[in-house]
Amino acid sequence: MTELAELPGYLIRRLQQLAVSMFVTTMGEAGFDLTPVQFAAMTVIGQEPGIDQATLASRIAYDRATIGGVIARLCQKGYVARAIKPENRRARVLSLTTSGEQVLAQVTPMVMSVQTEILGDLTDSESAQFLDLLRKLVAGR
Amino acid sequence: MTELAELPGYLIRRLQQLAVSMFVTTMGEAGFDLTPVQFAAMTVIGQEPGIDQATLASRIAYDRATIGGVIARLCQKGYVARAIKPENRRARVLSLTTSGEQVLAQVTPMVMSVQTEILGDLTDSESAQFLDLLRKLVAGR
DNA sequence: GCTTCACGATATGTATACATATCATACGAC
DNA sequence: GTCGTATGATATGTATACATATCGTGAAGC
């Protein structure tokens, strides 16, 4: 008999579910309407202003098709500006608006505390161990 | 500066992404068209024939609204049968068809090998450790 | 200079994931 | 026995996630 709850794949999905739910709840309680993906996109755009959509997608391991919608929603919220790149009119360069920069600054500390919350049931040494193994599993793949 | 790739939430999402992709690829190569959720649903239905949709959803930590579509697709493939429960005409009881049972039997060993593949980069002791911590993080939440 | 090919993005279709609204049915209260 | 409430399911809307097709644009080859 297959004990679903013992399978790594099942447990990983559950943890991802919990992490997203904590993220969205925390944001919502603070009055922000941001998903994990939107936060990741804004963080990278803040670090590399002028990045194009395809490069952004690869930075955060997303599909190029998906990122379009994410960016569209961030533009609609007024957090991200999109402009056609002069040297390569096929590409669109992205940057944070002033409002986007402010929101990102406010939200980043909350995201950090959510990270602690996700690992809340572990001791410090267990957390470090878990992160090590996570990094090893994701590295390069 | 926020190093996205160091955040637990980000690493968990990436691992989930990898796990799903390995699952779907393995199934596809073997000629089966099954997602992880569909496999989970079929496994539980096989274990508890006659289960209703809401109970099934809670067993695999899914939304009741989502499970409807999952079941609909499994019915369309001919793997699951859905019937109105006589004692409670609001509910629908689920069971595997003969074809569904056969597919589940064929697919289960492959799913087990995918689990090993997901943890492929870890030693046996690291895998056990990782599973322990995963269980601890998910337990009860 | 024109064609072909590559590349960036959008469009479309399938499958989760979840909140909320709605609908049908069942059940308890009176 | 009718009413209000609880329950099981579907419908709708938003947001990923990804494959594939398509379109616009740029670049290389001739």
Residues 37 to 66 of A: which have CB under 8 A from any B CB?
40, 43-44, 47, 60-61
- The Cα–Cα gap between A76 and B83 comes to 45
Confirm whether A72 is domain-assigned. Answer: yes
B33 touches A: beta carbon within 8 Å:
no
Domain encompassing residue B51: 35-108
Confirm whether A93 is domain-assigned. Answer: yes
Residue A100: CATH number of its domain? 1.10.10.10
The length of chain A, given as a count of residues: 141
Confirm whether B68 is domain-assigned. Answer: yes
What does DSSP assign to residue A31? T
Contacts of B131 (CB under 8 A, 6+ apart): A6, A8, A11
Chain B residues touching A108 at Cβ < 8 A: 2
* Interval B71-94: pLDDT, tens: 999 999 999 999 988 888 888 899
Task: Evaluate if residue B56 carries a pLDDT over 80.
Answer: yes
Q: A51 — phi, psi (to 5°)?
A: -65, 150
Tell me how far CA of residue B18 lies from CA of A9, B22, B28, B62, in angstroms.
Answer: 10, 6, 15, 20
Confirm whether A61 is domain-assigned. Answer: yes
Residue A61 is encoded by which pair of tokens?
């391991």
Confirm whether B50 is domain-assigned. Answer: yes
Is the CB of residue B73 less than 8 Å from the CB of residue A17? no
pLDDT above 90 covers a percentage of chain A that reads 79
Number of domains in chain A: 1
Q: Strands across the sheet with A92-96, in order?
A: A51-52, A92-96, A80-84
* CA-to-C1' span, A72 to C11 (A): 14
* Interval B37-51: pLDDT, tens: 999 999 999 999 999
Confirm whether B2 is domain-assigned. Answer: no
Task: Evaluate if residue A47 carries a pLDDT over 90.
Answer: yes
Average pLDDT, chain A: 91
Closest residue of chain B to A37, computed from CA coordinates: B10
Confirm whether A50 is domain-assigned. Answer: yes
Chain A residues touching B16 at Cβ < 8 A: 12-13, 15-16
What ranges in A30-123 are assigned the alpha helix state H? 36-47, 53-59, 64-76, 98-118
Q: Which of A115-124, B83-92, B95-104 is predicted most confidently?
A: B95-104
Confirm whether A40 is domain-assigned. Answer: yes
Å from A24 to nearest chain B CA? 12
Contacts of A119 (CB under 8 A, 6+ apart): A127, A130, A131, B8, B137
Residue entry with tokens 């899914």: B62
What ranges in A82-139 are assigned the alpha helix state H? 98-118, 124-138
Q: Which of A84-93, B54-63, B100-109 is predicted most confidently?
A: B100-109
Task: Evaluate if residue B1 carries a pLDDT over 80.
Answer: no
* Interval B112-136: pLDDT, tens: 999 999 998 789 999 999 999 999 9
